[in-house]
A and B are shown apart, each in its own frame.
Chain A
């Protein structure tokens, strides 16, 4: 069955074109005036490198390795995340340590190496789910690009410090653990 397209009958006013054109001009003028009077930071367009959209709370971007208040790492190197990771991008090496710290309790194990290959990671958040200590979570940072593959192999201190800088907290630890830390600008 064919679809009957009803032909739109234009009124005389519409067929004269003058009035519809005037209407159209008014519409564009309205948009123009509205846009030109809106300050730049309130326009629809987000001028990306200068302005950034705040990410929603549940956004899964770059991981952060959480710390205690005194700056010590929360991770206990239990390898749960490494096991849970479907992309197998996390590699952990554990080490013993025996400093007694009352905020942490009596943990005796911590990661000496905690690497996430960001090129492999699929940002699924399974590590976050698997972690028994809430020591890893995925946050809003999404500018993950580099000129070579190695610098996207994020180490322990990268993961701990990236957000510390953003949150205005103290960055603790050797800053030059990997070249990535130095080359990646922490945008404000």
Chain B
């Protein structure tokens, strides 16, 4: 790395940051297409079907239908890019980016491996170094912004169904954000800090938060589904009632970006669940695991939760809108409050 720094005339820190950015975003972009494949094949397996397997790579290899992800990507790129005549054009162009960028940004705070010392300087394996003062507020803020992509997409396409989808989705996000934040606050309280590094360290010392705050985990988990607009909370879409919801009018790569945003969102959500409740990169029973092993542990947890997203999607039916609001305000909010107060009570008794 020093030679690289010397060659490019940049400092080691810059190079390291750039490397991490490339690594993380490359990972998300690379994982999203196979993730669609996992989604389709996984759903097929759960329903005793076969799933997509006909696309051949170079007309020869069938490798379990992985060619479909590639073919979809190629198709998105080469399709005609249509802007409907009554759409608000500039916002219509902006919307996929507004959806995609926050979905990617959320991952920046998540540490994906143990910080290590190399030649006397510290290297952190997360895009934002620990101790930056934002901590876990950052993904909450980014998650709050993520709704604009859907909202702008819905509004700019000037379509009744889109607007309905966008409105439902925004109401849902605002409702579930409260439960989400309160659940996270219980974790902050227990740790006494809100930096992901602190949270992971505390979990390594005492135990994963999923055991210490199962109720909080439940609330957070559910709200994460709602936040990433994922079934059973996919109220922005809903084929049965509002066509395709907010992306009805979108085609070609714009639609591709909206789809990618959803998957990136799920990856980020899995990362958050892992960090907050499953000990992040920590390896169970190994306090001083080597760096590569911690990265591996994080990946395993991350992939597991990404799989859980698919798993839940193909298990549960969708909610109705009033059920969604009921769940958000009358179940999730009181539950997270109860969790918060219970934990505060425990802490006041010295627990």
Contact = CB atoms under 8 A, between A and B. Distances in A.
Q: Answer whether A and B touch in the complex at a CB cut-off of 8 Å.
A: yes
A31 B316 contact: no
B328 to A, nearest CB: 14
Interface stretch (B27-35, B45-53, B73-81, B183-191): B45-53
A29 B50 contact: no
B216 to A, nearest CB: 14
Given A29-B46, A31-B47, A45-B48, 18 more contacts: A18-B218, A21-B316, A24-B315, A25-B315, A28-B46, A31-B46, A31-B48, A32-B42, A32-B311, A35-B48, A36-B45, A40-B50, A43-B48, A43-B50, A44-B48, A45-B49, A47-B50, A47-B53
Contact of A25 (B45, B48, B312): B312
Contact of A28 (B49, B53, B218, B311): B311
A32 B218 contact: no
B316 A24 contact: yes
Contacts of B49: 35, 45
Interface residues of B, number: 15
B16 interface: no
Contacts of A44: 48
Contacts of B311: 25, 28-29, 32
B314 interface: yes
A18 B315 CA distance: 13
Interface of A: 18, 21, 24-25, 27-29, 31-32, 34-36, 40, 43-45, 47
A35 B311 CA distance: 14
19 contacts: A18-B218, A25-B311, A25-B312, A25-B315, A28-B46, A28-B311, A28-B314, A28-B315, A29-B46, A29-B311, A31-B45, A32-B45, A32-B46, A35-B44, A35-B48, A43-B50, A44-B48, A45-B50, A47-B53
Contacts, number: 39
Contacts of A43: 48, 50
Interface in B268-327: 311-312, 314-316
Nearest to A45: B50
Contacts of A40: 50
A44 B51 CA distance: 12
A31 B312 CA distance: 14
Residue of A29, A32, A36, A45 with most partner-chain B CB within 10 A: A32
Interface in B48-74: 48-50, 53
A59 B300 CA distance: 52
Contacts of B45: 31-32, 35-36
A32 B194 CA distance: 38
Contacts of B48: 31, 34-35, 43-45
Residue of A21, A28, A47 with most partner-chain B CB within 10 A: A28
Contacts of B44: 35
Contacts of A36: 45
B237 to A, nearest CB: 21
The 6 A-B pairs of least Cβ separation, nearest first, read A35-B45, A28-B46, A28-B315, A32-B45, A45-B50, A32-B46
Nearest to A43: B50
Contacts of B315: 21, 24-25, 27-28
Contacts of A45: 48-50
A18 B42 CA distance: 23
A25 B311 CA distance: 7
Contacts of A28: 46, 311, 314-315
